[in-house]
Structure 1
Amino acid sequence: MGEHILPGNPPVELTLRRSSRARRISLRVSRLDGRVTLTLPQGVRSAAALDFARSKEDWLRAQLQAQPQMTAVAMGAEIPVEGRLRRIIPATGRRVVLAENELAVPGAADGVAIRLQAWLKTLARDRLAAASDRYAQALGRPYARITLRDTRSRWGSCSSNGGLMYSWRLIMAAPEVLDYVAAHEVAHLAEMNHSPAFWAHVARLYPGYEGPRRWLRDHGSDLHRYRFED
C-alpha cells in the first residue's frame, strides 16, 4: 500500500500492508533492519491505521531506539567471527588472517567487505560441512548436499531429499551455536517435523542444545546488523 511518514524528530517511515488474514491493526518493528510495518485488515481505512500508529508513537520510538545499530563492514570496524569480536585491519600478505582480536584483510580498503564476505562463506562451509558430516554419521543418515544462503527467516533447513541449507552468518556466532544448528538440521533427516522424537534426536546428537537455541532466539538477529553491501 506504500510508504507513509510519521512526523516527529526524527520522522519514522511506515510501510502500510493490507492483509486479508488480519483481524486488527498491528504495528511491527523488524529486529533485523528496523523497518516499521503497519498491517491493517481489509475494509479498514488507511487514515484509521495511521491514527493507530500515532497513538503508539511513544512505544514505537522506544522500540526503534532499542534497535541495534547497523555496522558497515570496513577497515577499522569490529565484526564477530566464531563468537569473538575482531577488529578489521590491513593485511601485509595476500590472504585473510584470523587472530585472537584482529582480522587482517588484504587489498584496497574499498574492497574489504566483499573479500571478507567471501572468506567468511568459505570458513562457514568448512565448519558446517564438518559438523554435518559428524552428526550425519552419528545419526546413520547421509545428507545430499549443503547450500549456504543469507537467510533472514531461518538459520537452516533440511529438504525432503536430504539437502541441508544454512545461513553463512552462523560463522559469526560462537562454535556451539553453529554446531547446534547443524545437529538440528541433520536430525531432520530422521524426523521431518518438530515432534518429541525429533528433539530426542537433537538431544542425542548435541546434548545441552537448549543454551545455543536460546542464544539464537535472543541474540541471533544481531548477526544481521553487519552490512557487507551498500
Structure 2
Amino acid sequence: MMAADGPETVAIASGQVPVCWRRSARARRISMRIDARSGHVILTLPPRARREDALALLRSHSAWVAASLARMPQAPRWHDGGEVLIDGRPHLIRHCPDARRGVWIEDDVVHVSGDAAFLVRRLSAFLREEARVRLGAALAALARQAGLRPTRLSIRDTRSRWGSCTADGAIMLCWRLVMAPPPVQHYVMAHELAHLRHMNHGPDFWMLVDRLTPHRRAAETWLRREGGALLRDMQE
C-alpha cells in the first residue's frame, strides 16, 4: 500500500476536510473511513481507480463525513499546566526546563524536563515505558491466576485496537491503555488472555472472559464513551 505524506485539504458541501490518499493493490473498490487517531478522512483506491471517482464518493457522503468528524472526541492536549491521565486519574503536567531527570512522577504531578518543544514526545515515551512495566506486571499476575501462559507481550501504538492475541499465544496491548482506569485495563487483558483458549468470540470465550474479570460491562461502556479520546494523536 502506498500513502501520501500528509493530508490534503478538500472542500465538500459541509466545509473543508483533511483527506489522506491510499493506493492498495488489494483494494477492489474505492473505500472511505475516518481515522480515529488523526481525524483525517482516509480514501483508499484500487491501483487503476481515478481520484475524481474517489472525490465524487467523498462529496456524495458529505453529511456523513461532517457528522462523523463532529462526533469525534477532542484529542488530549499536553502542555505545562495541563493534565494527563495515568490509570484513569488526572495528573498535572509541570514543565521543568532546567531539570536533568527526564520525566518523573511526584504526588500526582508529572514533571517533564528539557525543551518545551519536546514535551509531548518525552511524555509519550515515558507513558510507553510505564505501560510496559505496569501492564506487563498486571498481565503476568492475571495470567498466573488464570493458569494461562502467553508466549510474549508487546506494547504498541495501535490505531483502533486495545489489544490482540495471535494463534501462537503472543499478546499485544496498546500503550495508551495505561491512561485508562485499572478496571478497563483488567478487562482488556482478560479479553486477550481468553483468546489463548478460544480464538473466537463464541459463548465459551465470553464465559471465560466473565470468569477472569468482573469489569466487562462497565469497561465496554467506558471504552465506547471515553476510549476514542485516548486513541487520538496528542497535541500541545
Please tell me the residue identity of whatever aligns with 1:210.
Answer: R
Deviation at 1:135, TM superposition (A): 1.8
> Where does residue 61 of structure 2 map in the other structure?
56
1:99 corresponds in structure 2 to: 107
Alignment-derived partner of residue 159 in structure 1? 166
Amino acid at match of 2:41: V
The partner residue of 2:90 within 85, 101, 104 is 85
* Greater CA drift, 107-116 or 1-10: 1-10
SS in 1 for 2:55: helix
Residue 65 of structure 1 pairs with residue 65 of structure 2: no
Contact preservation (8 Å) 2:160, 2:231? no
Query: What is the aligned counterpart of 2:199 among 189, 192, 195?
Result: 192
Going from structure 1 to structure 2, the CA distance change for 1:47 and 1:107 (only over 3 Å counts) comes to closer
Cα–Cα, structure 1 residues 205 and 136, in superposed 2: closer, same or farther, change >3 Å? same
Residues 156, 173 of structure 2: 8 Å contact kept: yes
Equivalent position of 2:35 in the other structure: 30
> Could you tell me how far apart the structure 1 residues matched to 2:153 and 2:201 are?
21
SS at match of 1:160: coil
Question: What residue is the counterpart of 2:150 in the other structure?
Answer: 143
| Cα-Cα RMSD | 3.2
Give the Cα–Cα distance (whole angstroms) in 1 for the partners of residues 53 and 78 of structure 2: 41
Distance 2:128 2:46 in 1: 41
Bigger drift between 176-185 and 83-92 goes to 83-92
**Aligned partners of 1:93, 1:41: CA distance in 2, in Å?**
51
For 1:4 and 1:116, how far apart are their aligned partners in 2? 30
* Letter in structure 2 aligned against 1:219: E
Between 109-118 and 187-196, the greater mean CA deviation after superposition: 109-118
Q: Which of 207, 210, 216 is residue 209 of structure 1 equivalent to?
A: 216
* Counterpart for residue 120 of structure 2: 113
Q: Do the aligned residues in 1 keep the contact of 2:37 with 2:233 (CA within 8 Å)?
A: no
TM-score (norm 2): 0.77
Equivalent residues of 2:12, 2:62 under 8 A apart: no
Shift, 1:61, TM fit: 2.7
Distance 1:41 1:149, change over 3 A: closer
Q: Distance in 1 between matches of 2:10 and 2:48?
A: 21
Post-superposition offset of 1:88: 0.9
Amino acid paired to 2:214: P
Q: Identity over aligned residues, as a percent?
A: 39
Please, which runs of 5 or more residues in structure 1 have no aligned partner? none
1:78 deviation in Å? 2.4
Letter in 1 for 2:155: L
Q: Partner of 1:96: helix, strand, or coil?
A: strand
Whether 1:219 aligns to 2:218 is no
Q: What residue in structure 2 maps to residue 75 of structure 1?
A: 80
Q: Is the 8 A contact 2:73 2:228 kept in 1?
A: no
CA distance in 2 between partners of 1:15 and 1:182 (Å): 33
TM-score by length of 1: 0.79
Number of residue pairs matched? 226
- Kept after mapping to 2: 8 A contact 1:148/1:165: yes
Segment drifting more, 8-17 vs 145-154: 8-17
Q: Which amino acid aligns with 2:75?
A: M
Unpaired runs of 5+ residues, structure 2, are none
